[in-house]
Protein backbone atom coordinates (compact mmCIF):
# COMPACT_ATOMS: atom_id res chain seq x y z
CA UNK A 1 0.00 0.00 0.00
CA UNK A 2 1.09 3.62 -0.49
CA UNK A 3 -0.09 7.19 -0.33
CA UNK A 4 1.03 10.09 -2.47
CA UNK A 5 0.96 13.84 -2.93
CA UNK A 6 0.86 14.85 -6.58
CA UNK A 7 2.11 11.51 -7.78
CA UNK A 8 4.98 10.96 -5.31
CA UNK A 9 4.34 7.74 -3.44
CA UNK A 10 5.17 6.88 0.13
CA UNK A 11 5.01 3.25 1.20
CA UNK A 12 2.76 1.97 3.93
CA UNK A 13 3.74 -1.27 5.61
CA UNK A 14 1.00 -3.68 4.61
CA UNK A 15 2.00 -6.02 7.43
CA UNK A 16 1.06 -3.44 10.04
CA UNK A 17 -2.25 -4.49 11.58
CA UNK A 18 -4.97 -1.94 10.81
CA UNK A 19 -7.87 -1.34 13.15
CA UNK A 20 -11.37 -1.94 11.86
CA UNK A 21 -13.16 1.25 10.84
CA UNK A 22 -14.90 2.75 13.86
CA UNK A 23 -18.65 2.78 14.08
CA UNK A 24 -18.59 6.55 13.82
CA UNK A 25 -21.73 8.66 13.81
CA UNK A 26 -20.18 11.34 11.55
CA UNK A 27 -17.87 11.16 8.56
CA UNK A 28 -14.47 12.93 8.66
CA UNK A 29 -15.75 15.57 6.22
CA UNK A 30 -18.84 16.26 8.34
CA UNK A 31 -16.64 16.57 11.43
CA UNK A 32 -14.42 19.09 9.63
CA UNK A 33 -17.36 21.23 8.50
CA UNK A 34 -19.11 21.18 11.89
CA UNK A 35 -15.82 21.84 13.65
CA UNK A 36 -15.08 24.87 11.48
CA UNK A 37 -18.49 26.36 12.19
CA UNK A 38 -18.27 25.81 15.94
CA UNK A 39 -14.68 26.99 16.29
CA UNK A 40 -15.28 30.11 14.20
CA UNK A 41 -18.30 31.14 16.27
CA UNK A 42 -16.59 30.45 19.60
CA UNK A 43 -13.32 32.07 18.50
CA UNK A 44 -15.08 35.31 17.50
CA UNK A 45 -17.12 35.43 20.72
CA UNK A 46 -15.70 33.57 23.71
CA UNK A 47 -12.11 33.63 22.47
CA UNK A 48 -12.16 37.32 21.55
CA UNK A 49 -13.78 38.25 24.87
CA UNK A 50 -11.19 36.32 26.89
CA UNK A 51 -8.32 38.01 25.03
CA UNK A 52 -9.84 41.43 25.66
CA UNK A 53 -9.98 40.68 29.39
CA UNK A 54 -6.35 39.56 29.47
CA UNK A 55 -4.22 38.92 26.39
CA UNK A 56 -1.98 36.25 27.93
CA UNK A 57 -4.86 34.38 29.56
CA UNK A 58 -7.02 34.77 26.48
CA UNK A 59 -4.39 33.27 24.20
CA UNK A 60 -4.12 30.10 26.28
CA UNK A 61 -7.88 29.98 26.84
CA UNK A 62 -8.66 30.30 23.12
CA UNK A 63 -6.13 27.68 22.08
CA UNK A 64 -7.02 25.06 24.68
CA UNK A 65 -10.78 25.54 25.02
CA UNK A 66 -11.72 26.58 21.49
CA UNK A 67 -9.28 24.88 19.10
CA UNK A 68 -8.30 21.81 21.12
CA UNK A 69 -11.49 21.42 23.16
CA UNK A 70 -13.97 21.61 20.29
CA UNK A 71 -11.99 19.17 18.15
CA UNK A 72 -11.54 16.75 21.06
CA UNK A 73 -15.24 16.78 22.03
CA UNK A 74 -16.39 16.36 18.43
CA UNK A 75 -14.13 13.37 17.86
CA UNK A 76 -15.16 11.75 21.13
CA UNK A 77 -18.85 12.38 20.45
CA UNK A 78 -18.47 10.83 16.99
CA UNK A 79 -16.80 7.79 18.60
CA UNK A 80 -13.30 8.43 17.25
CA UNK A 81 -10.18 8.17 19.41
CA UNK A 82 -8.65 11.68 19.12
CA UNK A 83 -4.97 10.75 19.54
CA UNK A 84 -4.90 8.14 16.78
CA UNK A 85 -7.38 10.00 14.54
CA UNK A 86 -5.37 13.22 14.41
CA UNK A 87 -1.92 11.62 14.37
CA UNK A 88 -0.70 13.41 17.49
CA UNK A 89 0.91 10.29 18.90
CA UNK A 90 4.72 10.90 18.97
CA UNK A 91 6.86 8.99 16.45
CA UNK A 92 10.29 9.77 17.84
CA UNK A 93 12.76 12.60 18.25
CA UNK A 94 14.19 12.63 14.71
CA UNK A 95 11.00 13.61 12.80
CA UNK A 96 10.18 16.29 15.39
CA UNK A 97 13.70 17.75 15.24
CA UNK A 98 13.53 17.69 11.44
CA UNK A 99 10.25 19.61 11.57
CA UNK A 100 11.71 22.24 13.91
CA UNK A 101 14.79 22.75 11.71
CA UNK A 102 12.61 22.97 8.61
CA UNK A 103 10.42 25.56 10.35
CA UNK A 104 13.44 27.76 11.12
CA UNK A 105 14.77 27.49 7.56
CA UNK A 106 11.34 28.14 6.06
CA UNK A 107 10.93 31.28 8.17
CA UNK A 108 13.96 32.92 6.58
CA UNK A 109 13.56 31.35 3.13
CA UNK A 110 9.89 32.15 2.46
CA UNK A 111 8.05 33.80 5.37
CA UNK A 112 10.42 36.77 5.65
CA UNK A 113 10.37 37.72 1.92
CA UNK A 114 6.61 37.14 1.57
CA UNK A 115 5.87 39.27 4.63
CA UNK A 116 8.35 41.93 3.48
CA UNK A 117 6.56 42.20 0.14
CA UNK A 118 3.14 42.31 1.81
CA UNK A 119 4.18 45.09 4.19
CA UNK A 120 5.76 47.04 1.34
CA UNK A 121 2.52 46.94 -0.66
CA UNK A 122 0.04 47.44 2.20
CA UNK A 123 -0.88 51.03 3.12
CA UNK A 124 0.36 52.35 6.47
CA UNK A 125 -3.12 52.45 8.02
CA UNK A 126 -3.67 48.77 7.20
CA UNK A 127 -0.32 47.77 8.71
CA UNK A 128 -1.13 49.75 11.85
CA UNK A 129 -4.62 48.25 12.15
CA UNK A 130 -3.34 44.66 11.98
CA UNK A 131 -0.07 45.10 13.88
CA UNK A 132 0.10 41.91 15.92
CA UNK A 133 3.13 43.12 17.86
CA UNK A 134 0.89 45.37 19.97
CA UNK A 135 -0.13 42.32 21.98
CA UNK A 136 3.26 42.54 23.74
CA UNK A 137 2.77 46.16 24.82
CA UNK A 138 1.93 46.99 28.43
CA UNK A 139 2.42 43.42 29.65
CA UNK A 140 3.93 42.51 32.99
CA UNK A 141 6.96 40.16 32.96
CA UNK A 142 4.71 37.24 33.96
CA UNK A 143 2.18 38.04 31.23
CA UNK A 144 4.95 38.43 28.66
CA UNK A 145 6.34 35.01 29.62
CA UNK A 146 2.85 33.49 29.33
CA UNK A 147 2.37 35.10 25.92
CA UNK A 148 5.68 33.77 24.63
CA UNK A 149 4.89 30.31 25.99
CA UNK A 150 1.44 30.53 24.42
CA UNK A 151 2.68 31.33 20.92
CA UNK A 152 5.52 28.79 21.23
CA UNK A 153 3.64 25.87 22.79
CA UNK A 154 -0.14 26.28 23.05
CA UNK A 155 -0.74 27.71 19.57
CA UNK A 156 1.33 25.10 17.66
CA UNK A 157 -0.14 22.12 19.53
CA UNK A 158 -3.78 23.21 19.61
CA UNK A 159 -3.99 24.77 16.15
CA UNK A 160 -2.27 21.84 14.46
CA UNK A 161 -4.60 19.45 16.31
CA UNK A 162 -7.60 21.29 14.88
CA UNK A 163 -6.49 22.40 11.42
CA UNK A 164 -4.28 19.52 10.32
CA UNK A 165 -5.69 16.82 12.61
CA UNK A 166 -9.41 17.50 12.08
CA UNK A 167 -9.98 19.87 9.14
CA UNK A 168 -7.31 18.61 6.73
CA UNK A 169 -8.17 14.99 7.47
CA UNK A 170 -11.81 15.72 6.74
CA UNK A 171 -11.00 17.41 3.44
CA UNK A 172 -8.78 14.48 2.47
CA UNK A 173 -11.92 12.33 2.70
CA UNK A 174 -13.73 14.62 0.24
CA UNK A 175 -13.46 14.86 -3.54
CA UNK A 176 -10.47 17.19 -3.22
CA UNK A 177 -7.03 15.97 -4.20
CA UNK A 178 -4.35 15.72 -1.53
CA UNK A 179 -2.79 18.97 -2.72
CA UNK A 180 -6.23 20.60 -2.74
CA UNK A 181 -6.98 19.48 0.81
CA UNK A 182 -3.63 20.82 2.04
CA UNK A 183 -4.15 24.11 0.19
CA UNK A 184 -7.72 24.72 1.33
CA UNK A 185 -6.78 23.95 4.93
CA UNK A 186 -3.87 26.38 4.69
CA UNK A 187 -6.15 29.15 3.41
CA UNK A 188 -8.67 28.54 6.21
CA UNK A 189 -5.84 28.45 8.77
CA UNK A 190 -4.56 31.82 7.59
CA UNK A 191 -8.04 33.36 7.45
CA UNK A 192 -8.62 32.49 11.12
CA UNK A 193 -5.75 34.81 12.09
CA UNK A 194 -7.73 37.81 10.79
CA UNK A 195 -4.62 39.51 9.40
CA UNK A 196 -4.79 40.52 5.71
CA UNK A 197 -1.19 41.78 5.72
CA UNK A 198 0.15 38.42 6.92
CA UNK A 199 -2.36 36.32 4.96
CA UNK A 200 -0.06 34.99 2.22
CA UNK A 201 2.79 34.25 4.62
CA UNK A 202 0.46 32.19 6.82
CA UNK A 203 -0.94 30.35 3.80
CA UNK A 204 2.61 29.29 2.96
CA UNK A 205 3.11 28.17 6.56
CA UNK A 206 -0.14 26.22 6.44
CA UNK A 207 1.03 24.41 3.31
CA UNK A 208 4.29 23.46 5.03
CA UNK A 209 2.51 22.15 8.13
CA UNK A 210 -0.03 20.28 6.01
CA UNK A 211 2.63 18.62 3.85
CA UNK A 212 4.55 17.54 6.96
CA UNK A 213 1.37 16.00 8.38
CA UNK A 214 0.67 14.22 5.11
CA UNK A 215 4.21 12.96 4.48
CA UNK A 216 5.03 11.84 8.03
CA UNK A 217 1.66 10.56 9.25
CA UNK A 218 2.16 12.56 12.46
CA UNK A 219 1.25 16.03 13.71
CA UNK A 220 4.52 16.50 15.61
CA UNK A 221 6.83 17.57 12.76
CA UNK A 222 4.27 20.23 11.82
CA UNK A 223 3.82 21.24 15.46
CA UNK A 224 7.56 21.72 15.87
CA UNK A 225 7.80 23.63 12.57
CA UNK A 226 4.92 25.84 13.75
CA UNK A 227 6.67 26.38 17.08
CA UNK A 228 9.98 27.21 15.39
CA UNK A 229 8.34 29.86 13.22
CA UNK A 230 6.65 31.52 16.20
CA UNK A 231 9.74 31.33 18.42
CA UNK A 232 12.03 32.91 15.82
CA UNK A 233 9.59 35.67 14.86
CA UNK A 234 8.84 36.54 18.51
CA UNK A 235 12.53 36.52 19.44
CA UNK A 236 13.47 38.79 16.54
CA UNK A 237 10.69 41.23 17.41
CA UNK A 238 11.69 41.40 21.09
CA UNK A 239 15.37 41.86 20.19
CA UNK A 240 14.50 44.67 17.77
CA UNK A 241 12.29 46.33 20.37
CA UNK A 242 15.04 46.08 22.98
CA UNK A 243 17.58 47.85 20.78
CA UNK A 244 15.24 50.42 19.21
CA UNK A 245 12.00 50.97 21.09
CA UNK A 246 9.14 51.87 18.82
CA UNK A 247 10.93 51.26 15.54
CA UNK A 248 10.56 47.51 15.29
CA UNK A 249 7.00 47.60 14.03
CA UNK A 250 7.28 50.79 11.95
CA UNK A 251 10.46 50.14 9.96
CA UNK A 252 11.29 47.29 7.61
CA UNK A 253 14.74 45.76 7.16
CA UNK A 254 16.72 46.67 4.03
CA UNK A 255 15.96 44.65 0.91
CA UNK A 256 19.55 43.39 0.73
CA UNK A 257 19.21 41.85 4.18
CA UNK A 258 15.93 40.17 3.25
CA UNK A 259 17.45 38.69 0.09
CA UNK A 260 20.47 37.44 2.03
CA UNK A 261 18.26 35.75 4.63
CA UNK A 262 16.13 34.29 1.85
CA UNK A 263 19.18 32.79 0.13
CA UNK A 264 20.53 31.29 3.33
CA UNK A 265 17.11 29.91 4.23
CA UNK A 266 16.61 28.31 0.83
CA UNK A 267 20.01 26.65 1.03
CA UNK A 268 19.18 25.35 4.51
CA UNK A 269 15.82 23.98 3.32
CA UNK A 270 17.45 22.28 0.34
CA UNK A 271 20.07 20.76 2.60
CA UNK A 272 17.43 19.46 5.02
CA UNK A 273 15.43 17.87 2.20
CA UNK A 274 18.58 16.20 0.83
CA UNK A 275 19.41 14.97 4.32
CA UNK A 276 15.92 13.51 4.70
CA UNK A 277 16.37 11.75 1.36
CA UNK A 278 19.49 10.00 2.69
CA UNK A 279 17.99 9.33 6.11
CA UNK A 280 14.32 8.31 5.66
CA UNK A 281 13.90 8.01 9.43
CA UNK A 282 13.58 11.81 9.50
CA UNK A 283 10.15 11.37 7.87
CA UNK A 284 9.00 9.03 10.65
CA UNK A 285 6.88 6.00 9.78
CA UNK A 286 5.40 7.81 6.75
CA UNK A 287 2.08 6.07 7.16
CA UNK A 288 -1.38 7.19 8.17
CA UNK A 289 -2.29 5.96 11.66
CA UNK A 290 -5.53 4.00 12.00
CA UNK A 291 -8.48 5.89 13.48
CA UNK A 292 -9.40 3.93 16.59
CA UNK A 293 -12.77 3.90 18.29
CA UNK A 294 -13.58 5.71 21.53
CA UNK A 295 -15.91 4.89 24.39
CA UNK A 296 -19.52 5.65 23.51
CA UNK A 297 -20.86 8.34 25.85
CA UNK A 298 -23.41 11.11 25.59
CA UNK A 299 -22.34 14.45 24.15
CA UNK A 300 -23.08 16.13 27.48
CA UNK A 301 -20.58 13.93 29.31
CA UNK A 302 -17.84 14.86 26.83
CA UNK A 303 -18.64 18.59 27.02
CA UNK A 304 -19.01 18.76 30.81
CA UNK A 305 -15.31 18.62 31.85
CA UNK A 306 -14.31 21.19 29.21
CA UNK A 307 -17.15 23.50 30.23
CA UNK A 308 -16.27 23.20 33.91
CA UNK A 309 -12.60 23.80 33.18
CA UNK A 310 -13.37 26.92 31.14
CA UNK A 311 -15.67 28.28 33.85
CA UNK A 312 -13.10 27.68 36.60
CA UNK A 313 -10.37 29.33 34.50
CA UNK A 314 -12.48 32.45 33.93
CA UNK A 315 -13.35 32.57 37.63
CA UNK A 316 -9.69 32.33 38.62
CA UNK A 317 -8.82 35.13 36.20
CA UNK A 318 -11.42 37.39 37.82
CA UNK A 319 -10.16 36.44 41.27
CA UNK A 320 -6.47 36.96 40.51
CA UNK A 321 -6.49 39.89 38.08
CA UNK A 322 -9.63 41.99 38.49
CA UNK A 323 -7.56 45.24 38.32
CA UNK A 324 -6.10 44.10 35.00
CA UNK A 325 -9.57 43.29 33.64
CA UNK A 326 -10.83 46.74 34.61
CA UNK A 327 -7.81 48.36 32.98
CA UNK A 328 -8.31 46.44 29.74
CA UNK A 329 -11.99 47.36 29.61
CA UNK A 330 -11.07 50.99 30.25
CA UNK A 331 -8.48 50.87 27.44
CA UNK A 332 -11.21 49.63 25.08
CA UNK A 333 -13.44 52.57 25.97
CA UNK A 334 -10.62 55.11 25.60
CA UNK A 335 -8.47 53.95 22.63
CA UNK A 336 -5.15 55.69 22.07
CA UNK A 337 -3.28 55.75 18.75
CA UNK A 338 0.17 54.25 18.62
CA UNK A 339 2.84 56.94 18.80
CA UNK A 340 5.11 57.17 15.78
CA UNK A 341 8.86 57.31 16.28
CA UNK A 342 8.99 60.96 15.16
CA UNK A 343 6.21 62.10 17.51
CA UNK A 344 7.13 65.02 19.83
CA UNK A 345 9.16 64.08 22.89
CA UNK A 346 6.40 65.47 25.11
CA UNK A 347 3.96 62.90 23.70
CA UNK A 348 6.39 60.05 24.39
CA UNK A 349 6.94 61.32 27.94
CA UNK A 350 3.18 61.50 28.55
CA UNK A 351 2.67 57.98 27.21
CA UNK A 352 5.47 56.65 29.42
CA UNK A 353 3.84 58.34 32.43
CA UNK A 354 0.52 56.73 31.50
CA UNK A 355 2.14 53.30 31.39
CA UNK A 356 3.66 53.92 34.83
CA UNK A 357 0.21 54.78 36.17
CA UNK A 358 -1.16 51.60 34.61
CA UNK A 359 1.52 49.48 36.26
CA UNK A 360 0.77 51.20 39.57
CA UNK A 361 -2.92 50.32 39.29
CA UNK A 362 -2.04 46.67 38.60
CA UNK A 363 0.06 46.61 41.79
CA UNK A 364 -2.60 48.38 43.85
CA UNK A 365 -0.44 51.47 44.45
CA UNK A 366 -2.39 53.91 42.27
CA UNK A 367 -6.19 54.40 42.19
CA UNK A 368 -7.90 53.42 38.96
CA UNK A 369 -9.45 56.88 38.77
CA UNK A 370 -6.04 58.53 38.28
CA UNK A 371 -5.25 56.33 35.30
CA UNK A 372 -8.74 56.79 33.86
CA UNK A 373 -8.50 60.59 33.99
CA UNK A 374 -5.02 60.70 32.44
CA UNK A 375 -5.96 58.29 29.64
CA UNK A 376 -9.12 60.28 28.89
CA UNK A 377 -7.07 63.48 28.74
CA UNK A 378 -4.54 61.99 26.32
CA UNK A 379 -7.28 60.47 24.16
CA UNK A 380 -9.03 63.86 23.94
CA UNK A 381 -5.74 65.57 23.12
CA UNK A 382 -4.97 63.17 20.27
CA UNK A 383 -8.47 63.55 18.86
CA UNK A 384 -8.17 67.34 18.90
CA UNK A 385 -4.70 67.19 17.28
CA UNK A 386 -5.86 64.82 14.54
CA UNK A 387 -6.19 66.45 11.08
Q: What is the pLDDT of residues 70-110, one digit of tens each?
A: 999 999 999 999 999 999 988 889 999 999 999 999 999 99
The verdict on 65 and 182 lying in the same domain is yes
Q: Which domain holds residue 152?
A: 2-318
The verdict on 313 and 370 lying in the same domain is no
Q: Are the C-beta atoms of residues 368 and 375 closer than 8 Å to each other?
A: no
**pTM of the full predicted structure?**
0.86
Q: d(Cα 354, Cα 338) in Å, to the nearest integer? A: 13
DSSP conformation letters of 82-117:
HHHHHT-S---HHHHHHHHHHHHHHIIIIIHHHHHH
* Residue, of 263 and 217, whose pLDDT is higher: 263
Q: Are the C-beta atoms of residues 227 and 152 closer than 8 Å to each other?
A: yes
The verdict on 310 and 331 lying in the same domain is no
The verdict on 266 and 375 lying in the same domain is no
Q: Are the C-beta atoms of residues 173 and 182 closer than 8 Å to each other?
A: no
Q: What is the pLDDT of residues 249-271, one digit of tens each?
A: 456 778 999 999 999 999 999 99
The verdict on 312 and 327 lying in the same domain is no
For residue 14, give the 3-state DSSP assignment.
coil
The verdict on 312 and 330 lying in the same domain is no
Radius of gyration of the chain, Cα coordinates, nearest whole angstrom: 23
In the predicted structure, residue 245 carries a pLDDT above the cut 80:
no
Residues paired with 80 in a beta bridge: 293
DSSP conformation letters of 154-216:
IHHHHHHHHIIIIIHHHHHTSSS-HHHHHHHHHHHHHHTT--STTHHHHHHHHHHHHHHHHHH
Amino acid sequence: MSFSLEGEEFPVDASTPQADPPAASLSPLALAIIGLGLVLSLFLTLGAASQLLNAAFGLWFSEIVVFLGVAWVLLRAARYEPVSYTGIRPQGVAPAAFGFALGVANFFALVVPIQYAAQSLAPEWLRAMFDGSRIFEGQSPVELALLLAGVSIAAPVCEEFFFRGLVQKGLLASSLSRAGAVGVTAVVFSAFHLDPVGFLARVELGVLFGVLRLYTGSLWPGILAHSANNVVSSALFLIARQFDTGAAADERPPLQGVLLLMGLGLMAMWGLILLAGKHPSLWGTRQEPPAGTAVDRSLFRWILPWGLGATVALGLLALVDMPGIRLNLLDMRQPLPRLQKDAPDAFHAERAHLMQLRAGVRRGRVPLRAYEEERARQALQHRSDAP
